[in-house]
Structure 1
Amino acid sequence: MNAVAGDGFAYGYLKLTYVLKREYQLVINKKKVYRLCKELGILKQQRQIKSKYPRRLARNRDIMAPNQLWEVDIKYGYVHGEDRFFFVRSYIDVFDRQTADYHIGLHCEATDAVDTLKRALWKRRLLDQSVLPVIRSDNGPQFVSLAFESTCEQLGIEHERIPPRTPNMKAHIESFHRLLEDDCLSRYEFESYEQAYKAVVDFMDYYNNRRLHSSLHYLPPAEFNKQHYETGLTPKTNVKV
């Protein structure tokens, strides 16, 4: 009970909780201490942490070939039989509309985004290339993370993020995920995660290899990509993002 005057003046609410328990034997939890500190106006100010990787805002681009710009985003699905969500993260090439790669899982962390990006680069034989795609994302926690930003820097990839509330700046991935919702996720009430996983894998194969795309001369994305490299075929309209 003989706490020295001023003890704890520089503490945050969590340490203050332990002081109150230790010095005054109070039965109190950190949430109560936080509320009391907030009401009294004595919450310690949070440190301002400066990001090592400042945000690069997305800019207007004319896309003339594959692997110049990939958009990435996350889609949520629901497993009714298990009452839980799952996640689908997709990287899509805005030129040929093909999904370069994707991740399906019960969690959606920065490490998953990194692994999927590396796998997509490997599949497209880009890991040893000097010029790599620009990656465009929103400001989700996976994409502002140190793990994702440092990986992009190590690989020599430019990562740009759209301003808040501007989904039109990544319209291609938004459109793709609407198709995923309409043609796959909303068609089923999944009884298990395994069932949902298989349905998404089947849809991805269908989308890349069989679904006709009007702006790609009514070719599937994978076939259009092949035709582009063999004959120079380009989309019906210029790709501006």
Structure 2
Amino acid sequence: MGNKRHKPEEIVTKLRQVEVLVGQGMARIDAIREVRITEQTYYRWRKQYGGMGTDQLKELKRLQKENERLRKAVSDLTLDKLILAEAAPGKLLSPARRRACIDHVRSQMKLSERRVCLVLGQHRSTQRRRPRGRADEERLVEDMIALARQYGRYGYRRIAALLRDAGWQVNDKRVERLWRREGLKVPAKQPKKGRLWLNDGSCLRLRPEYRNHVWSYDFVHCRTDDGKVFRTLNILDEFSRECLAIRVKRKLNSTDVIDALSDLFILRGVPTFIRSDNGPEFVAHAVRDWIKAVGARTAYIEPGSPWENGYCESFNARFRDELLDGEIFYGLHEAQILIEKWRKHYNTKRPHSALGYRPPAPETIIPMDQRPAMH
């Protein structure tokens, strides 16, 4: 009677041997002693394996293994579900976010790194590798934050363009990564309004094809700190997106429109079309007759359809968002100086998304040896 642990096949063999001995006339207790087991062991084995053959035993073992495998699979799936529930909601697109999420799950659930990395799809070498920024990353972030402070309404793409103009060899993706890491964000704008179509359902529009083809102009209203209103007359070349002039006065009428256009016609020539809305300053007979006399044509938009003057409307929105809404003007003269300064920055420095993030009229530096001689 030893303490040997019997295999299921051996148990079935001993039970069959006892049955054979009993069938030959031997007492059951003597047959049990003959196979060298105790009576309690015999009845326990008989309860578990009684009447079972070798083939049935093999099938039982197979079913037990399959049951164990299914039980383990269900347990793994339950654990995976718990890991995903503990992980951050949403997609973990970047390795850094996955790394932080895996550390959080391990600290909360006391699981192995291997298991959590497998569930969340992170390679273990990526999890263990702590990124080291480039040597110039600190200076790049400082310059980026300085530009973000200076131009609070610019997104990371325009900031990246300004960084490249300043001499940085950097692409938009790297700037976006640092932009997100530093928590920089442009406040959300108001939702865009739908377009207004013509009464007959058509959507015809004059599109600029070259410089001085189509100019557009419009008024923008603002106030100085003392509450008094002033107006700006914004004139834009639609093809190049260049702001040709911004006239700032307390009151602007048709005479001021003619005066501003006269200065530009002398400097830049006469455009083919001049687009505007149907305001009284633009449809006045004096303005229409004068534009016709100098050889240009007017292109008025339909009433209630500001989208037809989209270039100028877009410029007005940038003008208000980046300057007027963020400045306090204590007097008209201060407003004229700051607005003219912003206009020059818009033309020569500000990256324009429609121009491949280049300014509409960048400054050109002429070398000293190529400059014309002064007489």
TM-score with structure 2 setting the length = 0.41
Matched with 1:70 is 215
1:133 to 267, 272, 294: 272
Contact preservation (8 Å) 1:101, 1:117 = no
Equivalent runs, 1:28-177 vs 2, <5 Å: 60-81=205-226, 83-124=227-268, 126-127=269-270, 132-177=271-316
Distance (whole Å) between structure 2 residues aligned to residue 96 and residue 224 of structure 1: 14
Contact preservation (8 Å) 1:100, 1:123 = no
Distance (whole Å) between structure 1 residues aligned to residue 363 and residue 301 of structure 2: 28
Which protein, 1 or 2, shows the higher relative CO under an 8 Å CA cutoff with sep ≥ 6?
Answer: 1
Distance (whole Å) between structure 2 residues aligned to residue 194 and residue 101 of structure 1: 16
**Shift in CA distance, 79/173, structure 1 to aligned 2, threshold 3 Å:** same
Cα deviation 1:86-114 (Å, max 9, x = unaligned): 11101111111001222111111001111
Letter in 1 for 2:335: A
Structure 1 residue 223, shift from structure 2 partner: 2.9
- Alignment root-mean-square deviation, CA: 1.9
Distance (whole Å) between structure 1 residues aligned to residue 303 and residue 294 of structure 2: 26
Distance (whole Å) between structure 2 residues aligned to residue 180 and residue 222 of structure 1: 17
Distance (whole Å) between structure 2 residues aligned to residue 173 and residue 141 of structure 1: 18
Contact preservation (8 Å) 1:91, 1:101 = yes
1:196 to 335, 346, 353: 335
Q: Comparing 114-123 with 157-166, which one deviates more in the overlay?
A: 114-123
Contact preservation (8 Å) 2:254, 2:287 = yes
Distance (whole Å) between structure 1 residues aligned to residue 258 and residue 357 of structure 2: 33
Q: Which has the higher helix share?
A: 2
Structure 1 residue 224, shift from structure 2 partner: 9.7
**Shift in CA distance, 133/73, structure 1 to aligned 2, threshold 3 Å:** same
Cα deviation 1:12-64 (Å, max 9, x = unaligned): xxxxxxxxxxxxxxxxxxxxxxxxxxxxxxxxxxxxxxxxxxxxxx9523422
Equivalent runs, 1:158-237 vs 2, <5 Å: 158-223=297-362
Structure 1 residue 206, shift from structure 2 partner: 0.8
Distance (whole Å) between structure 2 residues aligned to residue 99 and residue 191 of structure 1: 24
Q: Comparing 165-174 with 113-122, which one deviates more in the overlay?
A: 113-122
Letter in 1 for 2:220: K
Structure 2 SS opposite 1:220? coil
Matched with 2:128 is none
Distance (whole Å) between structure 2 residues aligned to residue 167 and residue 188 of structure 1: 26
Q: Which has the higher strand share?
A: 1
Which 4+ runs in 1 deviate beyond 6 A?
none
Structure 2 SS opposite 1:95? coil
Which structure: larger Rg? 2
The aligned length equals 162
Structure 2 SS opposite 1:142? helix
Distance (whole Å) between structure 1 residues aligned to residue 276 and residue 345 of structure 2: 24
Distance (whole Å) between structure 2 residues aligned to residue 172 and residue 211 of structure 1: 16
Aligned residues with identical type, % of pairs: 27
Q: Comparing 166-175 with 184-193, which one deviates more in the overlay?
A: 184-193
**Shift in CA distance, 224/62, structure 1 to aligned 2, threshold 3 Å:** farther
Structure 2: gaps spanning 5 or more residues: 1-202, 365-375
